[in-house]
Structure 1
Amino acid sequence: MDHEKVNILLVDDQPAKLLAYEVILKELGENLVIASSGREALEVLLKTEIAVILVDVCMPDLDGFELAAMIREHPRFQKTAMIFISAIQVSDIDRLRGYEMGAVDYVPVPVVPEVLRAKIKVFSELYRKTRELERLNQELEDRVRARTAELENSTAKLRESEQRRSMAIAAGKMGSWDWDWINGDWMWDEGQYRIFGVSPENFNVNPANVQALLHPDDVDELRKAIAEFNKGSRAYETEFRIVRPDGDVRWCVGTAAATVDGSGRVVRVSGVTVDITERKRAEERQNLLAREVDHRAKNALALAQSIVRLTRADEVKAYVNAVEGRINALARVHTILSLSSWQGAELSKLIDEELAPYSLGGQIRLAGPEVQLVPATAQTLALALHELFTNSAKYGALSTRSGRLTIGWQVDNDALAVTWEESGGPLVRPPKSRGFGTRSLLASVESQLGGQALFDWRPEGLLCRLQVPLTRKIAASSAPDKFGAAASAELQRASG
């Protein structure tokens, strides 16, 4: 059946992708409108009625999230369907942010044409049906005005019911309520009871009982809302907490709108309540993560500063290579910790990362269980392993194809024991003095982690044993200064 075409806005800064979307969506028979940037999309929206917006998340100048926020700020586009396309891995926090900005769905790249067409078709039909329903409602209202007073009154009640239902749907079908301002009667739907943790059978909805469920610090919000409506306000919105009968505290956002009679007097207040507890918790997690990232960045900078300040070399090139190697080791462990959201790192992954720059065939043998290291221990141990690998590649077993290296580790009584055993390489002689690598290894393991590093310079190859406690607590406030204060002082004493 022929139908009126709707406008679909495609927003992407890459022409090739826009062309691909046009080809995929062409068979829908709708009007496809193109925008190559967020600002161009805003100009199109102000001039054209748009049913669905397909927008790329990653764009220069104005990304998809920022564009969605600006669109939602305009009253005309608060219900316009927006679908995000993302070519990167989307986390739960990013999805939550997208849905808060008004996204109705996500489409990953590479795009599956059938899936994209199906999603666009659903929202296009919904937009078309909504417009048809609006026109039908308008016609119905025109006819109702001509009917008798009894039918007019019945239609008015139906309209109020539909208004409450629409508000609940717009709020995610969380909960809606109605308060007769004149006689004090309340009406709660099922969602409202569920949010407050009560049931219609054992809870009588009245101002006193509702106030009893509000958090003591937020009771004034209810009084303030009543006072605003008495002053003539027509709408009110606020965030508040409730304490359920079982003690569970929930964050909510409440929106209320007043209905007035011909004289302007408030006769009814209707509203919706949305449980935003998960959003609040997500915001808390995000803030915590931001503080953690700041702390870890300071720690990494302190380590890098110490490496640059304390590295010694006879030539500039040797100095640069030494600093770069140690900074790269720090960067590698930082990447591992970032992938775990700074929860920790596996010892085997640290070793694998240090092995990556070398093509050693079967020269290295690893043996040990999976051991999870806390961030501070992982960073320090990564630098220690880097020094051992570097020295072995220059002077030890890894400097020749005949050399062999065995790295073994085990955990006993909350302590990690790592054994580094070289053989088959050049003849080993005990060093007359300790270089920076050895001194930094000793200082970091012993001073920073409270462990022990033992070296046995055997003729057939170095034997090194590291003992590291796994349960020692390092205060967060002092962690960034551990290497810069304790380790650096130890190194300076050793070099002096």
Structure 2
Amino acid sequence: MDHEKVNILLVDDQPAKLLAYEVILKDLGENLVIASSGREALEVLLKTEIAVILVDVCMPELDGFELAAMIREHPRFQKTAMIFISAIQVSDIDRLRGYEMGAVDYVPVPVVPEVLRAKIKVFAELYRKTRELERLNQELEDRVRARTAELENSTAKLRESEQRRSMAIAAGKMGSWDWDWISGDWMWDEGQYRIFGVSPESFEVNPANVQALLHPDDVDQLRKAIAEFNRGTRAYETEFRIMRPDGEVRWCVGTAAATVDDSGRVVRVSGVTVDITERKRAEERQNLLAREVDHRAKNALALAQSIVRLTRADEVKAYVNAVEGRINALARVHTILSLSSWQGAELSRLIDEELAPYSLGGQIILAGPQVQLLPATAQTLALALHELFTNSAKYGALSTRSGRLTIGWQVEDQLLTLSWEESGGPLVMTPKSRGFGTRSLLASVESQLGGQARFDWRAEGLLCRLEVPLTRKPAATPPSEKFEDTGSAELQRASG
């Protein structure tokens, strides 16, 4: 269907990327406006009506976040849709910052052409339909003022009805209707039938049948509108839900206006219905994302606070190193979870991330199937593995070139069993007391995950066995503060 083109502003400091975006978006048939910097983009906005802004986050002088803030400060652009493109992995905090500044979406690099076109098309259509609705409301008000003198002219009524139907169909998810206040007759156009999920052949438009399609909690809106018109109100607008015959619930916004005779009595009510279900769902997703970001940020801060509060050391440097190591372990698993949109983390990837700082070549053997961990389980297990790796590198098999470490795991009946076997390192002696590492490891695996941790202090090397349920939802609270770091070697070993 032919439609008026809208302007899409592309902002990036790299000409090659701007050219790529033009190639990707040219099939949309819209007007593409180019800006090579944030300041140039502001100049374009002041001169041109823009529907959607596609802006790179990382730009010199004025980055995407700063540009978004300046745009939002201008009253004219407070509702302009902005989509950020980021060539780096942005955190949930950065995403929340972007949404607070008015971003409607993020597109990662490399850009998938079909995804970018789909996102731009949605907001271009939303912009176009919003403008059409504004024009439609204005035209409706004009008709209400003009129709009083033409009420008895059937030809004029038919022409106006045809205009409403054509505009509603052209707008997509819109419909128009007339209600003869005197005779009680209704008239719906095709768009109105489509929104309510009924057909003109099988559905009789009358107050009872229309009310039956309204959500029970929104029926009072219809009664309120009728009462308002009886009290002299000439225009009314409200949001409401409908329940289609197939059970689907749709959100709509309805605008109605009354026509009165010379005595001021209402003789006809005309209106427009717009299906806004997709907009409502988008708002719900954005609110859910904000709550999720808040929840995850609080959990991460609680874990970091617990690490700082519980760590003890005889020297400041040792304390700093211990805290940094544990927080870095938490940051690594957080990155893995972010890449999966917080769906979970694969165990071997978790182990690889903990191995990365050591670069130990062939000293370590890994054996086990792919195991997907829940986010909270992954966070807790990552900290436990960090303690084992840290102490092995300081006192155990990984502290010497001759040392060997074998990590194996298997899953049976949703129970993960992980074995940690060291050999070839310094002679091991059973520790006289448990340090923070051992006690926090036991607490996290047993209290947080509902599993078990067993240690066998063999002379040739530590043997540790962790059993972790995969289906139990881990506890949300950090380990108890009773597990204090004594500053002693957590998994003490003594060379012979």
* TM-score, with structure 2 as normaliser: 0.70
Q: CA deviation at 1:366?
A: 1.6
1:257 paired with 2:257, answer: yes
CA distance in 2, matches of 1:440, 1:301: 18
CA distance in 1, matches of 2:88, 2:322: 35
How far apart are residue 369 of structure 1 and its match? 1.9
Equivalent-residue separation in structure 2 for 1:306 and 1:122 (angstroms): 44
More moved, 415-424 vs 41-50: 41-50
Question: Aligned equivalents of 1:84 and 1:247: distance in 2?
Answer: 37
Question: Structure 1 stretch 154-163 or stretch 320-329: which is displaced more?
Answer: 154-163
Asked whether the equivalents of residues 8 and 32 of structure 2 are also in contact (C-alpha less than 8 Å), the reply is: yes
Secondary structure at the counterpart of residue 205 of structure 2 = coil
Contact 1:93 1:282 in 2 (8 A): no
- Cα deviation code 1:129-156 (max 9, x no counterpart): 9999999999999999999999996884
Q: Secondary structure at the match of 2:482?
A: helix
Partner of 1:326: 326
Q: Is the 8 A contact 1:173 1:191 kept in 2?
A: yes
Q: CA deviation at 1:164?
A: 1.8
Q: CA shift at 1:185, angstroms?
A: 2.4
Deviations 1:248-306 (A, max 9, x none): 43332223344566776655433333333444344444434433433333332232222
Deviation of 1:205 after TM superposition, in Å, equals 0.7
Alignment partners' CA distance in 2, 1:88 and 1:485: 37
Once structures 1 and 2 are overlaid, which stretch shifts more, 378-387 or 3-12?
3-12
Shift, 1:94, TM fit: 13
1:160 CA drift (Å)? 2.0
Moved more, 220-229 or 91-100: 91-100
In 2, Cα distance between equivalents of 1:185 and 1:65: 54
Question: Tell me, which stretches of 5 or more residues in structure 1 are unaligned?
Answer: none
CA distance in 2, matches of 1:242, 1:132: 23
Distance 1:334 1:426, change over 3 A: same
Cα RMSD (Å): 7.3
Between the aligned partners of 2:297 and 2:105, the Cα distance in structure 1 is: 34
Q: CA deviation at 1:441?
A: 0.9
Kept in 1, the 8 Å contact 2:178–2:188? The answer is: yes
Change (3 A) 1:163 1:490: farther
Give the direction of change, closer, same or farther, for the CA distance of 1:92–1:163 in structure 2 (3 Å limit).
farther
* Cα pair 1:376 1:479 within 8 Å, conserved: no
Say whether residues 1:191 and 2:191 are aligned partners: yes
CA spacing shift, 1:487–1:60, aligned 2, 3 Å: farther
**CA distance, structure 2, for counterparts of residue 284 and residue 2 of structure 1:** 32
Question: For the Cα contact (< 8 Å) 2:448–2:475, is it kept in 1?
Answer: no
Question: Which deviations, in whole Å up to 9, do the C-alpha atoms of 1:158-189 show, x marking residues without a partner?
Answer: 65245424652575334333333343322233
2:137 and 2:294 mapped to 1: Cα distance? 55
Indicate how the Cα distance of structure 1 residues 339 and 268 shifts in structure 2: closer, same or farther if over 3 A, else same.
Answer: farther
- Single out whichever of 207-216 and 170-179 deviates more from structure 2: 170-179
- Counterpart Cα distance in 2 of 1:252 and 1:343: 33
SS in 2 for 1:259: strand
Q: Distance in 1 between matches of 2:4 and 2:410?
A: 72
Counterpart contact for 2:397–2:422, Cα < 8 Å: yes
Q: 1:170 to 1:382 in 2, by over 3 A?
A: farther
Residues 158 and 402 (structure 1 numbering): CA distance in 2 closer, same or farther, change over 3 Å?
farther
CA–CA distance in structure 2, aligned partners of residues 455 and 93 of structure 1: 39
TM-aligned CA distance change 1:91 to 1:466, over 3 Å: closer
- Find the aligned partners of 1:337 and 1:351 in 2 and give their Cα distance: 14
Partner of 1:278: 278
Check 1:415–1:268 CA distance in 2 against 1; reply closer, same or farther (3 A cut).
same
* Larger displacement relative to structure 2 (323-332 or 470-479): 470-479
1:36–1:436 distance in 2 versus 1, CA, 3 Å: same
Q: In structure 2, do the counterparts of structure 1 residues 6 and 344 end up closer, same or farther at CA, with 3 Å as the change threshold?
A: closer
Deviation sequence 1:424-478 (CA, Å, 0-9, x none): 3333333333332122111221232232211122232221101122233446689
Q: Deviations along 1:327-372, whole A, 9 cap, x unmatched?
A: 1111222222333343332222211221222212222222222222
SS at the partner of 2:422? strand
Distance 1:368 1:86, change over 3 A: closer
- Rounded Cα–Cα distance in structure 2 between residues aligned with 1:25 and 1:415: 49
Structure 1 window deviating more from structure 2 (422-431 vs 441-450): it is 422-431
What do residues 102-152 of structure 1 show as CA deviations (whole Å, max 9, x unaligned)? 999999878999999999999999999999999999999999999999999
Deviates more, 1:172-181 or 1:382-391: 172-181
Contact between 1:8 and 1:52, CA under 8 Å: does it hold in 2? yes
Alpha-carbon offset, residue 381 of structure 1:
0.9
Deviation at 1:198, TM superposition (A): 2.7
Report the equivalent of 2:357.
357
User: Which stretch of structure 1 is more off in the superposition, 396-405 or 217-226?
Assistant: 396-405
Q: 1:118 to 1:171 in 2, by over 3 A?
A: closer
Deviation of residue 378 (structure 1)? 1.7
Q: Deviation per CA, 1:35-62, whole angstroms, max 9, x where unpaired?
A: 8999997887677677997766889999
Q: For residues 279 and 82 of structure 1, do their structure 2 counterparts lie closer, same or farther at Cα, with a shift above 3 Å needed?
A: closer
- Return 17-26 or 191-200, whichever deviates more: 17-26
How far the C-alpha of 1:382 sits from its partner, in A, is 0.8
Distance in 2 (CA, whole Å) between partners of 1:445 and 1:132 is: 59
Spell out, residue by residue over 1:233-256, the C-alpha distance to the aligned partner (whole angstroms, 9 max, x if none).
443221112233344433322233
Q: How far apart, in 1, do the equivalents of 2:416 and 2:303 lie?
A: 23
Deviations 1:211-235 (A, max 9, x none): 1221222111112222333444443
d(CA) in 2 for partners of 1:139, 1:281: 29
CA 1:393–1:267: 2 relative to 1, 3 Å: same
Helix, strand or coil at the partner of 1:270: strand
Higher mean displacement: 132-141 or 265-274: 132-141
How far did residue 197 of structure 1 move? 3.2
DSSP 3-state at the match of 1:240: strand
CA contact (8 A) 2:253 2:273 kept: yes
Aligned partners of 1:296 and 1:480 also within 8 Å? no
Contact 1:144-1:155 at 8 Å conserved across structures = no
Kept after mapping to 1: 8 A contact 2:427/2:494:
no
Q: Percent identity?
A: 92
| Further displaced range: 305-314 or 241-250 | 241-250
